[in-house]
Amino acid sequence: MKKLFFFPIFLMGCVTSSHQLPNSKLLVDEETYGLSRSEVIQAINECESNRTRAVMLMGKRRVSGRITEIVVDVTCAPKHGIFCD
């Protein structure tokens, strides 16, 4: 009987906890700047010359009625296993 009493209490604990969504803002095309192809290639080459990997942050833009992905930023991150050699 004790097991049946504690089970509904655990379920109620999950329901009563309140989680708030983080404050985020949707950026529209006028507020974002997409990198050109040459800027992306230059950023990737800079990352590779420093023995890091390029991580591209992508955004979406509507072009001719279709949604396409654009590169918004390129950052350098450590390569896997870089500290092993």
The model's pTM: 0.57
Residue 57: strand pairing partners: 73
Asked if 75 and 55 count as a contact pair (C-beta separation under 8 A), the reply is yes
Percent of the chain topping pLDDT 90: 35
User: How much is the mean pLDDT over the chain?
Assistant: 77
Q: Where are the domains positioned within the chain?
A: 30-85
Considering only CA atoms, give the Rg of the chain.
Answer: 23
Q: How far apart are CA 83 and CA 78, in angstroms?
A: 9
Residue 5 has pLDDT above 60, yes or no: no
pLDDT in tens, 13-46: 555 456 676 777 766 666 677 899 999 999 999 9
Residue with tokens 């092993």: 84
